[in-house]
């Protein structure tokens, strides 16, 4: 059995990007959507939004972080024949968490710790309290957990402070020293790739500013191969931007530029109460009440364009280098490249690859709330026996 925490730091292309405080159980490695989670033998509400599995397939599952772990009495695992009893959501098996009840007394645990050399600090308060009443005919018990954790960022640790691991001392003197396979910087960067709508080639005299298919990119002038030099030590290159060799400086290292969250900051509250009262010698009324709240903040890399959904920059855009000679209001276009053979009305272009680093990192705030209420009767009366209950469950994110 494995517990799966969905990593939001690598989730910008999946629903995990904004999962927040989510944990799930995966039996047999068949995926969290195939493991049924029960609490005190009863089904629990699924998290309201889907999450992406390893294969990025959307699945729904219960958030195991909503269980107050300090109050766990035992965990029961049913591995075989679960689907026949519980249905297709239990193909991998069933995990039933049984919480403490009938507590008469109390306990409190306080913990505080941190990771040396980082800003990661965590405080945890857990406990339980219970009391019998009516000469032992009834009991009411409360379990609680509170967790406050600061973020662990990429810049806290040397091995996460950059995505380029080629210069790490650990690789010195090995066959991996200087290997480009250790460079995990992103080819999606602030140096954009573009193409004219319809694949129209643009020339300046006899010099091609774009390829025959209208493709061009922006790069540092120092990289060479420029087809049109712009101000600010940047230029246009005819073709898709190169990212290897001398052009590796056009890659993006988000971990070095932003405090990317390796582990997000967290505030979590779990409160669970249970009680029972013997109405008669053979009939007992019971109840369960649960509340969970968590708020996380995660700093992620800048947003980027998606190849399957290309952005169109119209010819009339003020910053389009192939824009019109004159704008609709009659003013001259200061940003149209001089001497190009683009139509006087301008050419629209596609933004095929670009990371919006000038907008800064992406800040993801996620709040999760879950409510649970159970009220029922068990025992025998008037010739009837068994367990009858009313269950209310709600989860909001």
In this predicted model, what pLDDT tens digit does every residue of 221-246 receive, in sequence order?
999 999 999 999 999 999 999 999 88
pLDDT of residue 7 exceeding 60, the answer is no
Confidence of residue 21 (pLDDT cuts 50, 70, 90): confident
Give me the pLDDT at residue 45, please: 81
In this predicted model, what pLDDT tens digit does every residue of 39-84 receive, in sequence order?
998 888 887 765 655 555 567 778 888 888 888 999 999 887 777 7
pLDDT of residue 14 exceeding 60, the answer is no
Confirm whether 161 is domain-assigned.
Answer: no
pLDDT of residue 176 exceeding 80, the answer is yes
Confirm whether 224 is domain-assigned.
Answer: no
In percent, how much of the chain has pLDDT > 70?
88
Give me the pLDDT at residue 11, please: 47
Confidence of residue 248 (pLDDT cuts 50, 70, 90): very high
Query: Starting from the edge strand earliest in sequence, which strands make up the sheet with 384-396, in order?
Result: 105-114, 121-133, 138-149, 265-278, 283-300, 362-381, 384-396
pLDDT of residue 5 exceeding 90, the answer is no
Segment 317-328 shows an average pLDDT of 96
Confirm whether 11 is domain-assigned.
Answer: yes
| Cα(121)–Cα(116) distance, integer angstroms | 9
Confirm whether 187 is domain-assigned.
Answer: no
Neighbours of 70 (CB within 10 A): 20
Beta strand pairing call for 384-396 and 234-237: unpaired
Token pair recorded at residue 352: 């095929």
Confirm whether 283 is domain-assigned.
Answer: yes
| Cα(40)–Cα(78) distance, integer angstroms | 14
* Domain encompassing residue 295: 2-155+259-302+362-396
Closest CA to 118 of 83, 151, 75, 85: 151
How many domains is the chain partitioned into structurally?
1
Confirm whether 164 is domain-assigned.
Answer: no
Give me the pLDDT at residue 386, please: 59
Confirm whether 337 is domain-assigned.
Answer: no
Q: What phi and psi values does residue 299 have, to the nearest 5 degrees? A: -100, 120
Confirm whether 181 is domain-assigned.
Answer: no
Segment 346-374 shows an average pLDDT of 93
| Cα(57)–Cα(6) distance, integer angstroms | 13
| Cα(325)–Cα(333) distance, integer angstroms | 6
């Amino acid at each position: 059995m494995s517990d799966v925490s969905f990593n939001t730091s690598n989730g910008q292309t999946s629903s995990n990007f904004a999962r927040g405080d989510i944990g799930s159980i995966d039996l047999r490695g068949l995926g969290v959507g195939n493991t049924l989670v029960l609490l005190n033998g009863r089904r629990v509400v699924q998290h309201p939004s889907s999450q992406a599995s390893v294969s990025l397939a959307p699945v729904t599952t219960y958030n195991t972080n909503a269980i107050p772990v300090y109050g766990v009495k035992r965990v029961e695992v049913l591995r075989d024949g679960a689907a026949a009893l519980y249905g297709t959501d239990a193909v991998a098996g069933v995990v039933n968490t049984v919480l403490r009840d009938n507590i008469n007394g109390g306990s409190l645990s306080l913990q505080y710790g941190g990771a040396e050399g980082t800003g990661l600090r965590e405080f945890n308060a857990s406990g339980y309290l219970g009391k019998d009443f009516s000469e032992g005919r009834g009991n009411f018990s409360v379990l609680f957990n509170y967790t406050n954790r600061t973020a662990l960022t990429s810049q806290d640790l040397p091995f996460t402070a950059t995505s380029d691991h080629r210069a790490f001392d650990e690789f010195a003197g090995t066959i991996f020293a200087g290997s480009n396979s250790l460079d995990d910087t992103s080819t999606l960067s602030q140096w954009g790739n573009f193409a004219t709508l319809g694949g129209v080639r643009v020339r300046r005299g006899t010099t091609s500013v774009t390829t025959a298919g209208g493709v061009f990119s922006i790069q540092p002038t120092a990289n060479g191969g420029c087809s049109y030099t712009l101000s600010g030590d940047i230029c246009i290159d005819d073709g898709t931007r190169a990212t290897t060799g001398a052009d590796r400086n056009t890659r993006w290292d988000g971990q070095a530029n932003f405090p990317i969250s390796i582990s997000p900051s967290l505030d979590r509250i779990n409160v669970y109460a249970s009680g029972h009262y013997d109405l008669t010698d053979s009939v007992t009324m019971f109840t369960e009440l649960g509340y969970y709240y968590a708020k996380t903040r995660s700093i992620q890399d800048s947003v980027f364009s998606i190849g399957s959904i290309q952005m169109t920059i119209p010819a009339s855009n003020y910053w389009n280098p192939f824009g019109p000679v004159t704008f609709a209001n009659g003013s001259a276009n200061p940003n149209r490249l001089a001497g190009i053979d683009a139509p006087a009305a301008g050419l629209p272009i596609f933004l095929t690859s670009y990371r919006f680093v000038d907008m800064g990192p992406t800040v993801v705030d996620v709040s999760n709330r879950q409510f649970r209420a159970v009220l029922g009767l068990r025992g025998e009366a008037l010739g009837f026996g068994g367990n009858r209950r009313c269950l209310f469950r709600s989860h909001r994110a």
